[in-house]
Amino acid sequence: MGKDKLARFAAIKTFENVLEYERNQPFPMRGNWHRDFFKNDNPLVLELGCGKGEYSVGLAKMYPNKNFIGLDIKGNRMFIGAREALKLNMTNVGFLRTRIDFIEALFGPNEVDEIWLTFSDPQPQKPKKRLSSAIFIERYRKFLKPGGLVHMKTDNDLLFEFTMEQIEEHGYPIVDYRPDLYATLETETDPAQREIFSIKTHYEQLFHAKGHVIKYVCFKIN
Ligand SMILES: C[S@@+](CC[C@H](N)C(=O)[O-])C[C@H]1O[C@@H](n2cnc3c(N)ncnc32)[C@H](O)[C@@H]1O
């Protein structure tokens, strides 16, 4: 591992806004995020596979009355968002370095209001590992409030088509569907929507520069 990566790994261990979770450990924050971490009862939004955490930090700036947690296994990416949040003294955003595969161990029933899946790995060979697969949706259902939203933003045709198939197969109600997100923004009149979609993640910028079409869907699973 490079020197920079090691330094970032060491640094996030000292960050008060970053928690880490290893499988099969007790996790006292489960069910207690509002009371013990955020110290308020505001809605809780997760960004799964957050990378540098652009959505977690960006939405936290826009919505001071909501709480945000970015989850990723890569601490050196998360370092960027966590450091920014600390510099800005943001108290409504945190990070959790872990594998998303055992996410049910991390959040209690009805603890979460919304989930963002931002440019998730498409896992071409392993559909069950896709973050919108039935296996993952079953995990989310255990802690997402009734009527809670799942947002997916991606450039990847395979992942987007797979997600739309899952939505159809399981009858998840669609709240918003934009197969060419940027084209829809040219006529978008809702300033809140424009602001939310103005956030561009690291991978989003890379893929958009390559000419990939950015897609978005929002659906309910409960
Ligand atoms: C393509 S990157 C996207 C990062 C960021 N959301 C963005 O748009 O720039 C996918 C991220 O998901 C994380 N990831 C994928 N599968 C994961 C898993 N099972 N548990 C934790 N993190 C995962 C990777 O570490 C990586 O940072």
| Contact present, 120 and 153 (Cβ < 8 Å) | no
Q: 171: CA distance to ligand 1 center in Å?
A: 26
Domain containing residue 57: 3-20+42-220
Task: Tell whether 28 is covered by a domain.
Answer: no
- Per DSSP, the residues of 22-40 read -TT---TTTTTIIIIII-S
Q: 117: CA distance to ligand 1 center in Å?
A: 9
Task: Tell whether 25 is covered by a domain.
Answer: no
Candidate of 80, 120, 136, 206 to mutate for ligand 1, largest count of ligand atoms within 8 Å of Cβ: 120
Q: 180: CA distance to ligand 1 center in Å?
A: 22
Q: 189: CA distance to ligand 1 center in Å?
A: 31
Task: Tell whether 32 is covered by a domain.
Answer: no
Total length of the chain = 222
Domain count of the chain?
Answer: 1
Q: How many CB atoms lie within 10 A of CB 107?
A: 24
The pLDDT of residue 222: 81
Binned average pLDDT, 10 residues per bin, the chain of 222 residues: 85 95 93 98 98 98 98 96 98 98 97 98 98 98 98 98 98 98 97 97 98 98 89
Task: Tell whether 93 is covered by a domain.
Answer: yes
For residue 51, give the CATH number of its domain. Answer: 3.40.50.150
Residues having CB closer than 6 A to ligand 1 are 49-51, 72-74, 77, 99-101, 118-121, 201-204
Candidate of 8, 9, 102, 121 to mutate for ligand 1, largest count of ligand atoms within 8 Å of Cβ: 121
Q: Is 41 an active-site residue?
A: no
Can you give the pTM of this predicted structure? 0.97
| Contact present, 140 and 166 (Cβ < 8 Å) | no
The pLDDT of residue 39: 98
The pLDDT of residue 2: 81
For 21, 56, 72, 80, 95, the CA distances from 18, given in Å and listed in that order, are 10, 13, 11, 12, 5
DSSP letter at 186 equals: T
